[in-house]
Amino acid sequence: MDAGRDARIRRRLRPFALFLLCTLALTAVLPPSAYPSSSIGLSAGTYKFSTLHGKSLKGDLFVSNEGDRPIQVLVYTADVKTNEKGIPQFILPERGTHPSSNSPASWTTINAPDSTRIINNAPFLKLQVGERSHVFFTVDVPDKAPAGDYSFVIFFEMFNIGGSKGTSSRIGGRVGCRVRVRVQGKIVEAVSVRPFSVGGIVFGSELPYDFTVVNGGNVDHDFDSRLQLLTLNEEGKASMTIAKSDYIYARGKKRYSGSVPVRRLSLGKYVAELHVSYIKESMDKAGRITKSKDELVKTREFWVLPFSVTIPLAVLLLALVAAIGIAVTRRRRRQPLPHADQPQVMPPPHAPAWPPEPAPPASTGFGFGSLAEPAMAGGDVGVGLPIEMTGYSEAGEAEFEAEKTGEVEAETAAQEAAGREEPEEDPILFDAPKDAEERSEWKKSWGKISYYGPKPPSNKDPEE
């Protein structure tokens, strides 16, 4: 049964295999593209001039059609400026304006073979397959142009290709010739590296870096940049070339960023040393220009923490934090909670000032004999237990005062005999029971209270 099933599968797959083989055969035999191609070529990629103020310069270029279809080529100039990141940008000058010292592209005039072919004040060429055209240009340096280097580009852009139907009406391909004009005069050199930063602490295997080379002078330069990693004893550990003969225009800058591998570095502190070199130009008293190599060196310190060290440290730190948390939790659980039967005397939310202001005796008749409780300022009643209500009599009051005085004198004499200081009178004792045993039990149940406030709640019936 298995053999029959395999045979059926092979028969079903046979058409797909034949179709795949035919497709591969056609791909190998047919040319890669059946559409005509367009290409343009220039005789020179750069031009360099050196002149004085107010002079005129002349140059020429050959442009050719290297494709297999006719093309039309637009010829125009553009200034070269760099943005904050150091990336060159091409800015077209405003047509119909006077030449400006800040726009060398406006100094240039293009002379095409057929001066009648113009689009937006820019000449264009018609080139047949294999045709070559000769283009001339003139650079008129203004009288007040400052000394230094100026750069612009002459672009040749293909556009509006005619031919069969369905083809594109514009092709954005273009080539350019960079032209540098040096206006002779005083040379100003102002090369710097700012800012320059590296990662302070490296946890992985890459050290990030970021720096910008600023050419604040008036001449162009080619720069070489190299980053070297050293120990604190200036022992080389790694080196990396960042840029080689990188062209930076006058009054321009360029930013570099990336990372350097530090896999072979062990745990410790290191130094990142940046070297930026260029050819410095200077003028002697006779007006001759001399060239010499100059180098800028910047250093930054950083730490390397390999994963083989950081991972165990992280695990140890987490374990330490967990142990501290468990110990704190256990300590909190061991603390005893207050017992439910233990009396807790809490001060009232708005306790009156101490000492209380005396008030006239109340006529309620509370107390043993006829002793009345002192009333508190604001209407609060002094702290005490609910006691028996009796009638008021002067004899009973005198008897209670004499008995209380005798008890206090006896207690004072006993303390002096024992060599102890007299304790501070408890302000609540004026309501203490007369009997000694009852008084002792009363003090044990309530403790010593050193403030006045509302009476504590009691379930005892005052009439008992």
| Per-residue pLDDT reduced to its tens digit, 300-346 | 999 998 877 778 888 888 999 999 989 888 888 776 655 555 555 55
Ordered by where they begin, the domains of the chain are 40-183 (2.60.40.10), 191-307 (2.60.40.10), 353-464 (no CATH)
CA distances for 165 relative to 126, 129, 161, 348, angstroms: 19, 19, 11, 101
Q: Determine the pLDDT at residue 372.
A: 43
Decide: 249 and 222 in contact? Cβ < 8 Å: no
Mean pLDDT score, 432-459: 58
Note the pLDDT of residue 451: 43
Interval 115-127 mean pLDDT = 78
Query: Does the pLDDT at position 168 exceed 50?
Result: no
**Distance of alpha carbon 407 from alpha carbon 411, whole angstroms:** 6
Give the three-state DSSP class for 275: strand
Q: Which amino acid is at 419?
A: G
Report the C-alpha gap between 18 and 29 in whole angstroms. 17
Average per-residue pLDDT for the chain: 76
- pLDDT score, position 194: 87
The predicted pLDDT at position 450 comes to 44
Mean pLDDT of 392-417: 63
Q: What confidence tier does 377 reach under pLDDT thresholds 50, 70, 90?
A: very low
Between the two ends of the chain, the Cα-to-Cα distance in Å is 110
pLDDT in tens, 7-47: 666 666 676 666 666 666 555 544 444 455 778 888 888 89
The whole-angstrom separation of Cα 223 and Cα 190 is 13
Please tell me the predicted confidence (pLDDT) of residue 198: 95
pTM of the model: 0.57
Residue 204's pLDDT is what? 80
- SS3 call for 51: strand
pLDDT higher than threshold 60 for residue 242: yes
> Rounded CA gap, 295 and 153, in Å?
30
Residue 342: the pLDDT is 55
pLDDT score at 158: 87
Residues 6+ apart with CB under 8 A from 431: 367, 373, 382, 384, 385, 387
